[in-house]
Every structure is written in C-alpha cells, then in structure tokens.
A and B are shown apart, each in its own frame.
Chain A
C-alpha cells in the first residue's frame, strides 16, 4: 500500500484518496507522502489487538505539511517511545498485519504499508 495522498481541484489533499474531495471536487494528482516528514498529533499503545495484529500495537495520527496544506494519516509506529509533537518519517514494511487472520477477505486489500519512525 502506497502513501500516495490525493490532491483535488479545490486544493484540498486527503490520505487516503477518494473519488471526490469533502467538497465534491475531482482528484487532479497524487502526492507521495513517503517523501515528507510529519508531526505526531496524538498516539496510543493498543494492548487489545485483533487476530493477526502485533501486540502491543503503537499507533499515531500524524500531520504532514504539503505546500502549506495539512494532511493527516494514521499508522503504526516503529517504537514504543513516542510523544505528541515528535517528528516522524514513513518507512516501508512488507506486512503491517497478517493477511487472512482477521475477518477481512485477504484479496480485498493491501497488507504491506508504512510505519512512522521518529526522526
């Protein structure tokens, strides 16, 4: 799964992308967020994880600044040592959770992705 965000005709950017923006504008291009760093907005360490998910699972909502436009993303964190306000960068991992261990059909979605690593 890529970290491609979508820029829309109204100037907004979202990750993940959607067929239309919140205001109904059409997509015009993608922006690769893996080339940016982000700031941790909030985080949690989840202890009660579903089948196929690491335990504990440290998660963060982070905020990218793409040419002055705020773009948020949620993802796993590479370490348990994280604080609000930390600067992080996306790092690719081949598997974020085990395909087929949970309820979702394995072929219905991606199982690789990015984790956030403190800079």
Chain B
C-alpha cells in the first residue's frame, strides 16, 4: 500500500469572520494549493469536512460549490460529517482515497461558519447531536464537560486549578499563532474567577464559537518529490466510536473512542506514546485534554492533572501539547478543527511553525473528538524522508 504524503497545508484566520461558508472554504483551499504549487485542475478527489452548514447557514451541497469555486471540476467530491471530528474523519477519507490508489491528488478542506448565531442558538445546533433522552433534559456539550470534570476532580482528588492551568498553557501558546482567534495570555486567577458555565467549569475552560477553515493536500509519497522536498507522511490513522448516550459508558472518565482510535493509529504506524514529539489534542473543554492524555497512553488514568502541574505539556516540556493554542485559544470552527490540528502538526514536522516550532519534531499526533467522545479520529504524522 502506498504511503500517503501531505504536501501542502493552510488555514484561514480563525475568529469572527464576515465571509460565509463557501468563501471560507475557498480561501483555505486555494491557499493550500498555492502552498504546494499544485493547480486546481490536478485535484482528483476533494473532501469537505463540515458539521452543520445547513443548520447554521441554510447552505448545503458545499462540496460541489467548493469544487466549482476552486476550478477543480470534474474532481470527485464528498462532504464528510462526523460532528466535531469531521476534520479528522476527512483526514481518514483523504488518506483512504490516496492509499487505495483511487486518487493521486486529494484536497481536504474543513470549515464552519458559526458566529452569526447567538451562543444559545449555536449551542443548540451542537447539542442536536445528543440522544432524544438527553436533548429532552436540555443537555449541552458544556454540561457533559461539567458533569465529567466534577467526577474526575472528586474521584482522582485533582485540584480545580489543574484544569485552569490547561487554559493558561494553551492561551500562552496561542499568542504565537497569528491565525488564532485569541492571541492573548490569561492568568490562572482570571480563569478561576471567570463566570460559571457548567459548574465546576468556567468560561475560560471552554473554547469559543468560531468561523474558519483549514486545508491539507495529500498525494502518494512517490509523487510528493515532484512538488516539494519538505513533506509529512500520514503513518497512522484510525477512527472509533463510543456510546451515543454518554451516561451509558462504563467509566465516565474514559473515552473509548480515544483509546481505540489511538491503539489503531499506534499499531498502524508502529509507534507508541513514547515516540510522539508533539501533540494536538481536542481541548474543546479543558477536561478533555486530561482524558485524551490518559486515553492515548501518555500517562495513567487519573494522572494527567499531575503532568500539567509539572509543566510536562508546556511548549518546552517533555511532550508539548497544543502548540497551536488548541481549540481553546485558536478557536473551534467545528468542521475545520481536526484539519487545523493536522496543519499545526504538518508545520511542526516540516519546520514551518515559526515561534511555535519544537526542536527536532519528527513524529506528531492529533486527536479529534466528535460530540463528547462519541466519534474520535487519531492521526500520526511523521516528517518525510
């Protein structure tokens, strides 16, 4: 099976944007093609990761719209929806399209337009993924985070401050990302005194609502050299699900989709947690960074809070996590987020991360979580040889 290379990457400015979904997708898609020096007409497959353009904007058929706007017709195109992990699912689809031999040039563009809705409306669109019994009682994704965070803190005797330190770290990293929605540091006191959203979690424990788009360009590794000397290779990718009804999970602090997709990605790449130089984790809520650290085997269950206290996941720590600022600081345009995670890993691996650059980054991992761990994609990328 052909190894799949990533030869181009781009993302738009994340934040509150005037552009609508098709314009955002085209902006990232064209920038990605330009980054790689590939003409739109060379694209054979075009995947669009997006959760809810119909619900947010009333615009469907965006994959065809983007193919037209990019000048990529007659490329095969498909919209990939896996809620918040649509971006990761798009990576999996793009990898499959190239690894199978069906395409020699696959463009993946993820995007979402959200900020024109009120927070309550956007929260409801996102909460529409829940089971009817959950929707019946007004459950939101932030409330799942509050329920899980309380259980984690009580069960593992973890200090509330440890969650706040995730927000402080990721905001600090976001200062160096010019595409991030927030490029400002916050201190622990500000985090811990911000308004309660879902007790015990407060405003700064949550990512913002965001507009934005990100893109990656995939081809066989044997073709990559025609375009560039600097590329990355997707050496492991896997996806897995957990229960739709969140309270039915055996252990509220274990996301089965994270564990299973991580195992699959490690097995496929021949790598393990000890090999990862830099990671982008889905910190939609601060507690999720702990659950992914544990589910992906970077530490034991109930121990991730100790790593943040030790500085293990800082940019200059043993395992830098969310050098991009994460969803927390960079923003979370649903369908774009998983793609943007991989854009950061790509830039780290090819040495284009600027002030965020990690020394000698050779192997990177990103974990993209849909719902509250309902669907998860884990991807491992390595610097091309």
Q: Which chain A residues have a beta carbon within 8 Å of chain B's beta carbons? A: 1, 14-16, 22, 41-54, 57, 59-61, 72-76, 84, 96-97, 102-104, 108-111, 113
Contacts and interface: CB of A to CB of B under 8 A. Distances in A.
B127 interface: yes
Nearest to B146: A44
B11 to A, nearest CB: 27
Nearest to B127: A50
Contact of A73 (B124, B243, B247, B252): B247
A16 B131 contact: yes
B31 interface: no
A51 B140 CA distance: 11
Contact of A49 (B133, B138, B248): B138
Contact of B136 (A22, A44, A49, A97): A97
Interface residues of B, number: 40
Contacts of B124: 50-51, 102-103
Contact of B140 (A14, A49, A60, A76): A49
A1 B140 contact: no
Interface stretch (B89-97, B194-202, B230-238): B194-202
Contacts of B1: none
A46 B148 contact: no
B146 A50 contact: no
Interface in B164-201: 195-201
Interface stretch (B115-123, B267-275, B296-304): B115-123
Contacts of B197: 46-48
B138 A74 contact: no
A96 B198 contact: no
B143 A109 contact: no
A49 B127 CA distance: 10
Contact of B150 (A43, A52, A104): A43
A104 B229 CA distance: 50
